[in-house]
Amino acid sequence: MKLNELKDNSGARKSKMRVGRGIGSGKGKTCGRGHKGQSSRSGVAINGFEGGQTAMYMRLPKRGFTNPNAKTVETINLSVLEDFVTRKRLDAKKINREALENVGLVRKAGSLVKILGKGEIKAKIEIEVDSASKSAIAAIEKAGGKITVAEKASVSE
């Protein structure tokens, strides 16, 4: 089979109805828009319009808000750290926010970095982050590594 021999199954593509091509076509004269009125004219945008009564989206109450002081937390699993260290993309002796940004594990500026305990770590790493789960701290210390958690960040476990 060659690329120039590929074609759709029959009925896979339906051609667009061409309107205004005579009364015999089935969509001639008024082209399916009826007679007169707003919707018979071009440039009509009445989505959500309910004939003059207050629209449903205006009748429903507003819910929630966006907290302007919300802290974004970027999470990194131990398995990802292990992978980056074994592939020599991260130096195991000096892992901090700057190093994580350089390899693309942390993207958002001003976000907090939290290490989670999913996966296994065998490498002996020294890491400095804003927060870490108890299982992540235990796994890193069990592997012979050292983790420094910043006290300023108050992120729940």
Over the stretch 71-112, which tens digit does the pLDDT of each residue have? Answer: 899 999 999 998 998 888 888 788 888 888 888 888 888 889
Provide the pLDDT for residue 121: 87
- Where would I find the H helices in 20-133? 56-59, 78-86, 97-103
Q: Assess contact for 97 and 113: CB atoms under 8 A.
A: yes
Residues forming CATH 3.100.10.10 domain(s) in the chain:
73-149
Average pLDDT over residues 126-146: 91
Q: Which fold has domain 73-149?
A: Ribosomal Protein L15; Chain: K; domain 2 (3.100.10)
Backbone angles phi, psi at 13, to 5 degrees: -120, 125
Q: 119: pLDDT confidence band, cut at 50, 70 and 90?
A: confident
Q: 157: pLDDT confidence band, cut at 50, 70 and 90?
A: very low
Q: What does the DSSP assignment read for 103-118?
A: HTS--STT-EEEEE--
